[in-house]
Structure 1
Amino acid sequence: MIRKYSIINHSIVETEENPKVIILISPTQEERDKIINEFGVDSHNLNSALDPEEPSRIEFEENHIEIIFKRPKNYSSTDYYLFKVQSIGLFLFKYFLIIVLSDDINIFAGKYFTSVIGVKEVFLKILYNSIYHFMEHCKVINMIADEIETKISQSMDNKYLIHMFTLEKSLVYYASAITSNSLIILGSIA
């Protein structure tokens, strides 16, 4: 699926004409080929944007920057204490931005996107929003861990230990993703 947006009066507005932001959601092979051929996006990086196991990275191409980075997946109670991450691809050109997502999420949700000037600002706000989302999830993980720790101290039931180990696994995923994302920021400064 492809969605197109423009920036009109400091707002991100869905449009078909002259888009400044193009979002590909679980793109078909035909949609991937079009982006690769039309804009020169690296096929490996495009596919990496859809793979949660791919490490974050930044690559400087002749006419654009390609970033694969991590963001936390929205948590659901059906995840049973396992907080997961997903990869996102940002392909920043001089006048437009291509975003590749594996899931249909509202990437522009939140206060950060109420007023934007251009695609570079959208690009940076997406990265910032990911960092903020990780920080919020870490707070929640800490609160859940405190609650489980209290229950463990009051009970000998193994299910609370299993919950604690699952949370610990989530923190490993998050620590890896945050470290990976920080390398992008350091790489872009260097």
Structure 2
Amino acid sequence: MLRIYKTNCEALRELSLASLEKGAWLSLTAPDADELTAVADLTGVPLDALKAALDEEERSRVEIEDNYILVITNVPTLRDSYSYDTLPLGIVLTKDHFITVCLESHQVLEEFAAEGPRSFSTYKKTRFLFQILYKSALLYLKYLKQINRRTDEIERDLRQSVKNQEIFQLLELQKGLTYFTASLRSNGIVLERLLRLRSNKELQHLIALYEEDEDLLEDVIIENKQAIEMVEMYSHVLSGMMGAFTSIISNNLNLVLKFLAAVTILLAIPTMVASFWGMNVDGLPFSGENGFLAVVLIAVAAAVISAYGLWRRGLL
């Protein structure tokens, strides 16, 4: 899907491809071949550059050419309650246009389209780029806090659990942290390279770095480094929890089995007593009129004595 936006002082206008203007933002979300070809023809950006972000395994990088700069960054995404992943987002800066390419609709871009000109300007391409990177870094931090909260919830459940469901949830969270680690490190390399572009005068027509833009980029770098530190810390915590709670589940299962074994013993003793008096032989005591009551009392007494012995040994 292709949507074209342009900001002015009052509103965010949506344009058509036929009425494309300078300073417009072309947002490509899961584009088809016709949309990619049309954007390539109108902006002069090669198809290969536009298709780069459509590869799920594409790593973050910066590609500088004479008429455009391609920035690929990985943004975080939430698949379900415990499944976190990253998604490549391609950002292309040309002299006249700002282009984003993504495999699917993403929260970072949707927020800009919803907020309108009060949050960004399609004319200020460099600042818009850094604002996208900043929102992406903040989203990483938000998801990392969610992972920490969900880890605490799973920990509470695991204290009494003998099932594997919570372990599988921890595995999903650990996998998401692994994706975050790789993406944040590659994003950090991209940010450092963008910071070095401020001294390149030849690229001023594509990416002009003003003092406010440099401050914003430095904020993005700080947030990205904080996210890297957090994801490393949470990864170590999760790794330790996985081993600890596997042992806890095994121990909880052993406690259940121990209790069941003790109950089996208690049930076996009255059954054994009753079996003796159920034999079809002569000479058994208490075979008179009150024999049934006497056998029941003997069985109960034997069960109580056995229960006391098991309790003293910590089996009950």
TM-score by length of 1: 0.87
Say if 2:103 is the partner of 1:102: yes
Contact 2:7/2:116, CA 8 A, preserved across alignment: no
Query: 1:29 and 1:86 mapped to 2: Cα distance?
Result: 20
Query: 1:159 and 1:83 mapped to 2: Cα distance?
Result: 17
Query: 1:113 and 1:156 mapped to 2: Cα distance?
Result: 54
2:73 partner SS = strand
Q: Root-mean-square deviation (CA), in Å?
A: 2.2
Kindly provide the amino acid, as one letter, of the partner of residue 21 in structure 1.
Answer: W
Of residues 106, 111, 125 in structure 1, which corresponds to 2:131?
A: 125
Q: Is the alpha carbon distance of 1:91 and 1:123 closer, same or farther for their aligned partners in structure 2, counting shifts above 3 Å?
A: same
The equivalences for 1:23-172 within 5 A come to 23-73=27-77, 75-76=78-79, 79-105=80-106, 107-109=109-111, 114-117=118-121, 118-172=124-178
Note the C-alpha offset of 1:24: 1.2
Higher relative helix content? 2
Contact 2:43/2:97, CA 8 A, preserved across alignment: no
Whichever of the two has the greater Rg, that structure is 2
Of residues 179, 187, 190 in structure 1, which corresponds to 2:193?
A: 187
- Which consecutive unaligned segments of at least 5 residues does structure 2 have? 197-316
1:91 partner SS = strand
Quote the sequence identity (%).
27
Contact 2:157/2:166, CA 8 A, preserved across alignment: yes
Kindly provide the amino acid, as one letter, of the partner of residue 13 in structure 1.
Answer: R
2:3 equivalent in structure 1: 3
Higher relative strand content? 1
Highest RCO, 1 vs 2 (Cα 8 Å, sep ≥ 6): 1
Query: 1:114 and 1:145 mapped to 2: Cα distance?
Result: 37
Write the deviation string for residues 130-180 of structure 1: whole angstroms up to 9, x where unpaired: 111111001101110111122222222111111111100000011111111
Kindly provide the amino acid, as one letter, of the partner of residue 111 in structure 2.
Answer: A
Kindly provide the amino acid, as one letter, of the partner of residue 25 in structure 1.
Answer: T
Q: What is the total number of aligned residue pairs between the two structures?
A: 187
